[in-house]
Amino acid sequence: MSEHLAPLHEAMTRLDDAWADAADASGLPRPRLIATNEAIGLLQRRLDALRVEVAAEIAHESRPELGADSLARQQGYRSTAQLIASTTGTSVGDSARLVKVGEAIAPRTNLVGEPLPARYPAVQRAVHAGALSAQVAGLIIGVLERCRLAAGAERIAEAEEILVAKAVGFSVDDVRKLLARAEAWLDPDGIEQREDQRRARRSATMFERDGKFHLNLITTAEQGAPIRTAVQGHVSAAFAARKNAIAADAADADQRTVAMIQADALTAICEHALGCGAASSVPLNGATVIVRVRLEDLTEGVGFGTVDGTDEPVSIAAVRRMAASGGVIPCVLGGDSEILDWGREKRLFTPAQRLALAERDGGCAMCGLPPGLAKAHHIRWWARDAGPTDLDNGVLLCDTCHHRIHDNGWEIRIEGIGVIARVWFIPPPYVDPLRTPRLGGRARYDIAA
């Protein structure tokens, strides 16, 4: 067996051990099912490492200067990406990304043939170790390439190490959230320019077809924040009413899907705006747009801000515009604030405490749902454990994660004080025998070193 293929064989052996003598997946008990899934993930990532290496070499052997001797042309293809796509059954775009990753992490030489490290050595190590997939590596490399000129080589190298360390174990969706903040951190001056480009492409199209009204809206994160917040507030109110109806065993409990409720929310909000004569306003369940920014960034007009429920950071100009709008609460970090710790004088968390928890946790601290879909919960229960109503004993959780914590034996630990504290989730022994803490909340995506 080739030493170069040893990691791939090791991953295959792990999969074989996890599968053992089961006829199919339905015959696997839960622990082995989890072990099999993890082994498949490792095998896929190590296979990715081999794929990007081979793709880079095919690209090297198909470089334009070879002319008729180009490997791709000899095989009857116009490009390396077409050759790889046709032989692996993937798209040309996916194949081109494989080549890009392979070239970015391949060893290099200088003009006299002396060896040089890869352009992105940290990504190279993680890919070869099977810690990052080719897709995640490509996303990281894409951000680093876009910001290289603005940030400089030293900061790009620092960001590469941070991003690789944080991305291990992340889904692609989580990596995208991480990279949105990373790009703002690396190139804060470019945020407003990107916003201008997106604003120039905003659109809303409306038409009727087959008795249905179609609405397609594309807008900026800044303009979308109040829309998202209002709709999610309506959804939260509908879910609260549904929960009460189910508890009362009502026959007419709301059976709408989330998508249906969101569609109805837009109608209700527009009806209210038109002054339809409703006796009360549209229920938004305390929905508020929160935009946060550091005091020094706001006063100096540099840096960027963030908006609850929105992955993409916004420019300082957008922060100032939003802070001047109705229904938007600016959270300026470093300024004076209300008293946030109430001990046992109050059982329910105050609005100020909820804002502080939203600042710390960013929404559901476990799964990342926006703050409007999460509630403040006592870590040590008020009645059973005499837990105080303090930030250090509070956490934002959606209903699903709240039940998961209580029903499945997870524990929560808070390290630090106030809004800069970190939330850790400790899995039960049957999930992880070592009970390794998992970082939650906003800190999971923090990029500043």
Look up residue 382 and give its two tokens. Answer: 């008020």
Given strand 289-294, what is the order of strands in its sheet?
314-315, 304-307, 289-294, 328-333
Find the radius of gyration of the CA atoms of the chain: 26
- The DSSP bridge partners found for residue 425 are 412, 438
3-state SS assignment for residue 118: coil
The pLDDT profile of the chain, 449 residues, written as one tens digit per residue, is 678 889 999 999 999 999 888 888 988 898 899 999 999 999 999 999 999 999 999 999 999 999 989 999 999 998 999 999 999 898 999 999 999 999 999 988 888 878 888 999 999 999 999 999 999 999 999 999 999 999 999 999 999 999 999 999 999 999 999 999 999 999 988 888 888 888 899 999 998 888 888 999 999 888 888 888 888 888 888 887 887 777 777 666 778 888 999 999 888 888 777 765 544 444 444 456 777 777 777 777 778 888 776 777 888 888 777 665 555 555 665 544 444 455 555 567 878 788 888 888 988 999 888 887 788 888 887 766 777 888 888 899 988 888 888 778 899 999 988 777 899 999 999 888 899 999 999 888 887 64
Indicate the length of the chain as a whole number: 449
Helix axes 92-105, 121-128, angle to 10 degrees: 110
Domain definitions of the chain by residue range: 3-189, 289-333, 351-445
Q: Distance between CA 155 and CA 123 in Å, rounded?
A: 15
Closest to 419 measured CA to CA, from 230, 290, 226: 290
Q: Distance between CA 319 and CA 331 in Å, rounded?
A: 10
